Amino acid sequence: MKKKVLHFVGGFVLMFSVFESTAQTMLDSVFVEKYHIATKADNNADPNLPIGAVTYRVYIDMKPGYKLQSVYGDVNHTLTFKSSTSFYNSPGGSNYANNINKPSGVDLYDSWITLGTDSKGNVAIPLKENSAGKIAGTIASITTTSQTIDDAITASFDTQPGNGTFAINGDAYANASAVSGSSASNSILIGQFTTDGTFSYALNFQLGNTTGTAEVFVSSNPISLTDGRFGEYSVSSLAGSIAPNIAPTISISTLTTAFVGDALKINATATDDNKVSKVEFFVDETSISSSTTSPYTASWIATTGTHSITAVATDNDGASTTSTAVSVVVIAPTVSVSSTASITKDGTSGTVAVTSNTAWTASTTDSWLTITPTSGTNSGVITLIASANTGNLRTATVTITVGTGTSAITKTITVTQDGATAVVDIKSNVLVISPNPAKTFFSINSLGTATILIYSLTGELVLNTTISGDEKVNINSLSSGLYLVKIITNNSEQTQKLIVE
């Protein structure tokens, strides 16, 4: 017995006969591939295409040697492609034999029904069988005498209602020849659909061969004759529903202030309903590194200025999410110091004031001098404690350091402690500075050669010279203030106070 039916074929509807069959032998499966996930660049090109919208391609995978004879809907079996939101079609699309295409001829990520061809009229190869994701060849076996049905399909998708349901359950006529699949596995494309919602489908189709044998597959309600000579097959892959991919979530944490040269650590927390494939880190929209395994971290050498730091998580389906930006202010470290006068020979203490915009450390290599505290933040005071000095005048160096690496800044202070034979003030009857106060020069009543070392009250050596007899010491380079003058002769070392006007 034969049954006459009317079938919709991706732009065509066929009239055909179903021949006797006792077991399903022609079909492997129906499969859906994710052909493309819309990116920000796609959305920039057409704001109507949502970022993350998925382009699905539906294939019928036949066993070798068989052909697709029809895809149809009738009163008992509805052919359905449905979106929980709506399907996307590029505006201004044009109709080209079973597909919709832009005039520019570029690949599209819109929605259409076909019989093996892509948006350029070429044979569509499943991505899993073509690693380059390219299309090749043309399909010459499809012919049409009318564009009526195809035009109707185009109009239906272009005016797609919000519920996203597109169903065919009636009859129409056109002509086409049966076609084989376009790949080694004999898979043939029957439709491409782009949506950001849940995509559902229910298919009915007939497969056959050149000898007249055919099999009919329906998504639901299969029927058979009472004598068992005719039947419809229903397998699970003929209907399906694919929920939209959920983009990953991501957040980052890092310091909001830093100093030039700091190795700033950036931490990212990324999760996905399936798998996070990669986390990429950006400073001012420039990629600095990426990570494919958790924990996701990056390190950035800070540069002066205010910077925006973000990270992008991408899942195994290609969907991505950008974290909320963290603003980081990077400045150069600064430090200044001041100190009291020199420490007496008996070991009294002195202090040094530190002013900085960051943490600092203080150290000395001289064992007779103790520093407390040895570190601090911003402004602070260091106390210097010296042990008693039974020998000659001695000096120690205190180093204040801020910053790290190439941005480190150091300040040094020379601390002077009177010796057992030193004269702390201007009471010496042996060596006398004159005039004192002085403006441009002074003399010392030395009968021989003397080395003159002049220190500021912060301990900085500001003048080092040697004189003979009553030779004058030029102090034009010194600013007004109080100084300590260390006088070294062949038989003594003395320290005098000098006022420069």
Instruction: Kindly write down the DSSP assignment for every residue of 275-315, as one continuous string.
Output: -EEEEEEEETTEEEEEESSSSEEEEEE--SEEEEEEEEEEE
Between 3.40.190.10, 2.40.50.1020, 1.10.260.40, 2.60.40.10, what CATH number should domain 335-417 receive? 2.60.40.10
275 neighbors 315 (Cβ within 8 angstroms): yes
Burial of residue 235 (CB within 10 Å: 0-12, 13-18, 19+) is middle
pLDDT for res 324: 97
Q: 146 is written with which tokens? A: 């009318």
Q: Is 155 exposed, middle or buried (0-12, 13-18, 19+ CB in 10 A)?
A: exposed
Cα 150 to Cα 22, 100, 154, 169, distances in angstroms: 35, 9, 6, 16
C-alpha 158 chain-centroid distance: 37
* DSSP summary character for residue 8: E
Buried b / exposed e over 436-469, threshold 16 CB at 10 Å, is eebeeebbbebeeebebbbbbebbeeebeeebee
Amino acid found at 17: S
CB 174 within 8 A of CB 148: yes
Q: Which residues pair with 61 in a beta bridge?
A: 29, 187
> 236 in helix, strand or coil?
helix
Residue 432: how many other CB atoms lie within 10 Å: 15
Tens of pLDDT along the chain (501 residues)? 223 232 333 333 332 333 333 567 899 999 998 888 887 777 777 788 888 888 899 999 999 888 888 888 877 888 888 888 888 876 654 333 333 333 343 445 677 777 776 665 666 777 777 644 333 333 333 333 322 223 223 323 333 222 333 333 333 322 234 667 766 678 888 888 888 889 999 998 888 887 778 889 998 888 875 544 457 888 899 999 999 888 899 999 999 988 888 899 999 999 998 899 999 999 999 999 999 999 999 999 999 999 999 999 999 877 889 999 999 999 888 888 876 556 777 766 778 888 888 888 999 888 888 889 999 988 888 888 888 888 777 888 888 888 776 678 888 887 877 776 544 343 334 578 888 888 888 888 766 788 888 888 777 888 888 888 778 889 888 888 888 888 887 777 778 888 888
Q: Is 158 left (phi over 0), alpha (psi -120 to 50) or beta?
A: alpha
Residue ranges of the chain assigned to CATH 2.60.40.10: 249-331, 335-417
**Which value, in Å, is the radius of gyration of the alpha carbons in the chain?**
44
Which CATH architecture group holds 249-331? Sandwich (2.60)
| 433-500 fold | Immunoglobulin-like (2.60.40)
Tally the C-alpha atoms within 13 A of residue 230's C-alpha that lie toward its C-beta: 10
pLDDT for res 171:
31
Q: How many CB atoms lie within 10 A of CB 97?
A: 16
pTM for this entry:
0.52
Rounded Cα distance, 489 and 470, in Å = 13
The residue type at 361: T
